[in-house]
Structure 1
Amino acid sequence: MEIEKLMACYCKAREVQSFYTNCLTNDHLSPKERDLLINLIKNASTSSNLLREYCQHTDEI
């Protein structure tokens, strides 16, 4: 896969993480909804970190 496409995936993962974070500002969230959003944020962060690390490693080769 081209590095440009991987970087686009990285950017989209960061965008999704930001969207979930913005959803946390809703004052009407139940504790379960808040926990769900926090887990989604963690997963999006993990995804973007994996993509970033892969792209950095690919760049070194």
Structure 2
Amino acid sequence: MNEDQLTLLLIKGAIAELPADEQQQVHAVTQQIRDVMAAYPSGSAAMAIALLGAELAALDV
């Protein structure tokens, strides 16, 4: 298992520990993000997601 796969597994595990209503919210938002990404196939949505991820990492949240 590589580092990215481990990160994904840890995140999925953290989501699985949330109350059911919060899990549903996470899955709903995830689908909305996927829908936005599909609407911008040029890669700009993926770059925006990368920017948000970097911002969150920089804030150490």
Question: TM-score when scaled to structure 1?
Answer: 0.45
Question: TM-score when scaled to structure 2?
Answer: 0.45
Instruction: Flag the structure with larger Rg.
Output: 1
